[in-house]
Amino acid sequence: MAKIINISDKLSKDKPKLKVGEQVYAIDDSLVTVMKFEELATESTTDSMVSAIEIALGKEAVEELGVRTMSIVNFKVIMTAILAAMQDLTYDEAEARFPK
């Protein structure tokens, strides 16, 4: 008889969220989005980095957060938080993976 491996309780349909102040933004953690996010982030241009955040959070969130005009320090915090959420890590775990 074939062995059955039940992974039902390991699969999640919950979407991670990012909270900034009182606003909560859903993060698209689908495979296609995560791969595109990482691709855009490694291009390291202003437009590609903003586009990476936009595909993860949506255009409205990018505008509300003022991503294009935020400080580089805050920009890094947002990027790290999105990566953490996409990979089911804590913020601190994600931050430790990327040297300052």
At 50-70, the pLDDT tens digits run 999 999 999 999 999 999 999
What is the residue range of 64's domain?
A: 19-97
- What's residue 11's pLDDT? 85
Answer whether residue 99 shows pLDDT above 70: no
Residue 70 domain flag:
yes
Are 87 and 16 in contact by the 8 Å Cβ rule? The answer is: no
Average pLDDT over residues 81-97: 93
Average pLDDT score, the chain:
93
Residue 10 domain flag:
no
- What's residue 3's pLDDT? 94
In total, how many domains does the chain have? 1
Residue 12 domain flag:
no
Report the DSSP beta bridge partners of residue 77.
none
Sign (positive or negative) of CA dihedral 11, 95, 60, 35 = negative
- What's residue 71's pLDDT? 96
Taking the model in full, what pTM does it have?
0.86
C-alpha distances out from residue 54 to 19, 77, 82, 92, Å: 16, 15, 11, 23
Give the dihedral of Cα atoms 68, 63, 90, 38; nearest 10 deg.
-60
